[in-house]
Amino acid sequence: MLIDTHCHLTYPGLVEQADTVIDRAVAAGVSRLITIGTDAADHIQVRKQLQDSPAVFGALGIHPHHAHEVAPDFIAAMRAHFAQQPKLLAVGECGLDYHHAEGSHEVQHHVFELQLSLAAKLNLPVILHVRDAHDDALAVVRRYRPTAFVVHCFTGSTAEVESWLALGAYIGFTGIVTYKNATDVANACKSVPIDRLLVETDAPYLSPVPKRSIKINEPSFVVHTAEYIAKLRGVTLKSVAESTTANAVRLFGNALIAAGAAK
Ligand SMILES: [Zn+2]
Ligand SMILES: [Zn+2]
């Protein structure tokens, strides 16, 4: 069993074929999917998806790309979603992204910090999106100290991964780790203790090798990323699957695999 800990079933490319995509994932042994809502409109779509699909769980956050668009009461709206839908397991993705900075860094910080406070109040884990902003994001996380969190789609260096691990982070790897030119990411992945490692697709983006030519990534392809990581670390796929599943359950809670939750 594998868990795709980060995908976007509500995004174009996947939303039109969500049911078949979920069926293909389950058939491939990816029996749980966590779909991530990234702005207020998307949060509503995610909730619909959770109602329809026993294998799908969710997280809600304001992605740094959308930080400049939030309504003044966005935290209250998020709070209401969490109160009404127990399949929402985490706050995020939230964080800092200076790569394609839309809106000011200041706005990104403000919206990020409000979400860390919300996670603390609700006692939920956090899914962090950090791109070209590791130092600043580390400083914020050191101040807020979320009880449990993952740095998703990790693309930093081995030194950066060490800083995150020192704060108790889980580290999520996407198909990027399978790319020929991503040796830094592969090295960082090798250095993560097995009990801190998560796998994810970030579908519909970032198809892993050998599916890279398929433009729309999908949760069933997380198997290829897990296989690649197994080879990279010199262990079996089974051991990567068992460890990453146990890690996901430790991070997101037992609800993720509770009996009767899936078809
Ligand atoms: Zn992200
Ligand atoms: Zn994402």
Q: What is the pLDDT of residue 102?
A: 75
Structural domains for the chain? 2-257 (3.20.20.140)
Q: What is the pLDDT of residue 259?
A: 57
Distance 125 CA to ligand 1 centre (A): 16
Distance 94 CA to ligand 2 centre (A): 9
SS (H, E, C) the chain: CEEEEEECCCCCCCHHHHHHHHHHHHHCCEEEEEEEECCHHHHHHHHHHHHHCCCEEEEECCCHHHHHHCCCCHHHHHHHHHHHCCCEEEEEEEEEECCCCCCCHHHHHHHHHHHHHHHHHHCCCEEEEEECCHHHHHHHHHHHCCCCEEECCCCCCHHHHHHHHHCCCEEEECHHHHCCCCHHHHHHHHHCCHHHEEECCCCCCCCCCCCCCCCCCCHHHHHHHHHHHHHHHCCCHHHHHHHHHHHHHHHHCHHHHCCCCCC
**Nearest ligand to the C-alpha atom of residue 100:** 1
Distance 227 CA to ligand 2 centre (A): 21
Q: What is the pLDDT of residue 258?
A: 82
Distance 103 CA to ligand 2 centre (A): 18
Q: What is the pLDDT of residue 263?
A: 40
The whole-number mean pLDDT for each consecutive block of 10 residues of the chain, a chain of 263 residues, reads 98 97 98 98 97 95 96 98 98 95 90 98 98 96 96 95 97 97 95 98 96 95 98 97 98 85 44
* pTM over cut 0.85: yes
**Nearest ligand to the C-alpha atom of residue 151:** 1
Distance 129 CA to ligand 2 centre (A): 8
Distance 238 CA to ligand 1 centre (A): 27
Distance 45 CA to ligand 2 centre (A): 15
**Nearest ligand to the C-alpha atom of residue 129:** 1
**Nearest ligand to the C-alpha atom of residue 201:** 2
**Nearest ligand to the C-alpha atom of residue 97:** 1
**Nearest ligand to the C-alpha atom of residue 35:** 2
